Structure 1
Amino acid sequence: MTAENDSIETDVLVIGAGPGGYVAAIRAAQHGLDVTLVEKDAYGGVCLNHGCIPSKAYISATDLAYEARGASEMGIFADPTIDMAKMQEWKSNVTNKLTGAVEKLCKANGVTLVEGLASFVDENEIQVTSEGKKSGQSSITFDRCVISTGSRPIQIPGFDFADSKVWSSRDALAAESVPDRLVVVGAGYIGMELSTVFAKLGAEVDVVEMLDDALPAYEDDITRVVRKRASELDIDFHFGEGATEWRDTDDGMEVVTETKDGEESIYSADRVLVAVGRQPVTDTLGLKNTGVELNEQGFIETDRHGRTSLEHVFAVGDVAGEPMLAHKASNEGIIAATALAENSPSSGTRSIPAAVFTDPEIGTVGLTEHEAEQEGYNPIVGKFPFRASGRALTTSDTAGFARLVADGESGAILGAQIVGSEASELVAEVALAIDMEATLKDIATTVHTHPTLSEAVMEAAENAQGHAIHTLNR
Structure 2
Amino acid sequence: MANYDVIVIGAGPGGYVCAIRCAQLGLKTACVESRETLGGTCLNVGCIPSKAMLHASEMYHEAHTHFETMGLMGVSPKVDLGKMLEYKQSTVESNTKGIEFLFKKNKVDWLKGHGKVAGKGKVEVAGEIHEAKHIVIATGSEAASLPGIEIDEERVVTSTGALELKSVPKKMVVIGAGVIGLEMGSVYSRLGSDVTVLEFLDVITPGMDGEVQKSFQKMLTKQGINFTLGAAVQGVQKLKSKLKVTYKLRKDDSDGAIDADVVLVATGRKPYTDGLGLAEAGVEMTERGQIKTDAHLATNIEGIWAIGDVITGPMLAHKAEDEGMAVAETIAGQKGHVNYKVIPGVIYTSPEVASVGQTEEQLKEEGRAYTVGKFPFMGNARAKSHFTGDGFVKLLADKETDRILGAHIIGPMAGDLIHEICVGMEFGAAAEDIARTCHAHPTFSEAVREAALACGDGAIHA
Taking structure 2 as the reference length, the TM-score comes to 0.96
Alpha-carbon deviation of 1:259? Answer: 2.6
Q: Which residue of 1 aligns with 2:79?
A: 82
Letter in 1 for 2:228: H
Q: What's the CA shift string for 1:247-287, capped at 9, x where partnerless?
A: 23343221111233542222111111100000000122110
**Which runs of structure 2 are paired with 1:223-242 in the superposition (5 Å)?**
223-242=213-232
One-letter code aligned to 1:53: I
Q: Name 1:333's counterpart in structure 2.
A: 324
Q: 1:124 aligns with which of 109, 121, 124?
A: 121
Distance 2:248 2:400 in 1: 49
SS in 2 for 1:355: strand
CA apart distance, 1:370: 3.1
Shift of 1:377: 3.3
CA shift, 1:402, in A, is 0.3
TM-superposed deviation, 1:178: 1.0
CA RMSD of aligned residues (A): 1.5
Which stretch of structure 1 is more off in the superposition, 415-424 or 246-255? 246-255
1:171 is aligned to: 161
Amino acid at match of 2:137: I
Deviations 1:298-331 (A, max 9, x none): 1111223211112311111111122111011101
CA contact (8 A) 2:138 2:306 kept: yes
Paired residues for 1:156-167 under 5 Å: 156-162=146-152, 164-167=154-157
SS at match of 2:383: helix
What do residues 334-379 of structure 1 show as CA deviations (whole Å, max 9, x unaligned)? 0000001112323546410110112211110011233234445321
> Counterpart of 2:167 in 1: which secondary structure?
coil
**Which residues of 2 match residues 97-246 of structure 1 at below 5 A?**
97-129=94-126, 137-162=127-152, 164-246=154-236
Q: Secondary structure of the equivalent of 2:2?
A: strand
Checking the alignment, whether the CA contact within 8 Å between 2:153 and 2:161 is kept in structure 1 is no
Where structure 2 has 5 or more consecutive residues not aligned to the other structure, the ranges are none
Equivalent of 2:17 in 11, 23, 30: 23
Change (3 A) 1:315 1:250: closer
- In structure 2, what is the Cα distance between the partners aligned to 1:201 and 1:162? 23
Counterpart of 1:379 in structure 2: which amino acid?
Y
Q: Aligned match of 1:393 in 368, 371, 384?
A: 384
Gaps of 5+ in 1: 1-6, 130-136
- Are the aligned partners of 1:302 and 1:309 in contact in 2 as well (CA < 8 Å)? yes
Using the alignment, how far apart are the partners of 1:291 and 1:145 within structure 2?
14
Q: Contact 1:367–1:414 at 8 Å: present in 2 too?
A: yes
Q: d(CA) in 2 for partners of 1:124 and 1:200?
A: 51
Task: Tell me whether 278-287 or 244-253 shows the greater mean CA deviation.
Answer: 244-253
Distance across 1 between alignment mates of 2:146 and 2:120: 33
| Aligned counterparts of 2:275 and 2:459: Cα–Cα separation in 1 | 55
Matched, 1:425 2:416: yes
71-80 vs 361-370, greater mean Cα deviation: 71-80
Moved more, 301-310 or 141-150: 301-310
Matches within 5 A, 1:373-452: 373-375=364-366, 377-452=368-443
Aligned to 1:467: 458
1:369 alignment partner in structure 2? 360
Q: How far does the alpha carbon of each residue in 1:127-172 deviate from its partner, in whole angstroms, 9 at most, with x for none?
A: 213xxxxxxx211121101110000000212222236321010110
The Cα shift of 1:117 comes to 0.7
Q: Which residue of 2 aligns with 1:68?
A: 63
Deviation at 1:405, TM superposition (A): 0.8
Q: 1:228 to 1:304 in 2, by over 3 A?
A: same
Residue aligning to 2:281? 290
Q: Which whole-Å deviations, capped at 9, do the CAs of 1:106-140 have from their partners, x for residues lacking one?
A: 121011111111112223212213xxxxxxx2111
1:32 partnered with 2:26: yes
Distance 1:214 1:349 in 2: 23
Q: Is the 8 A contact 1:363 1:417 kept in 2?
A: yes
User: For residue 43 of structure 1, what is the aligned residue in structure 2?
Assistant: 38
Number of residue pairs matched by the alignment: 458
Between the aligned residues of both structures, percent identity stands at 40
| In 2: Cα distance, 1:140 partner to 1:305 partner | 25
Find runs of 4+ consecutive structure 1 residues off by over 6 angstroms.
Answer: none
* CA distance in structure 2 between the partners assigned to 1:83 and 1:312 by the alignment: 51
Match of 1:309 among 300, 308, 324: 300
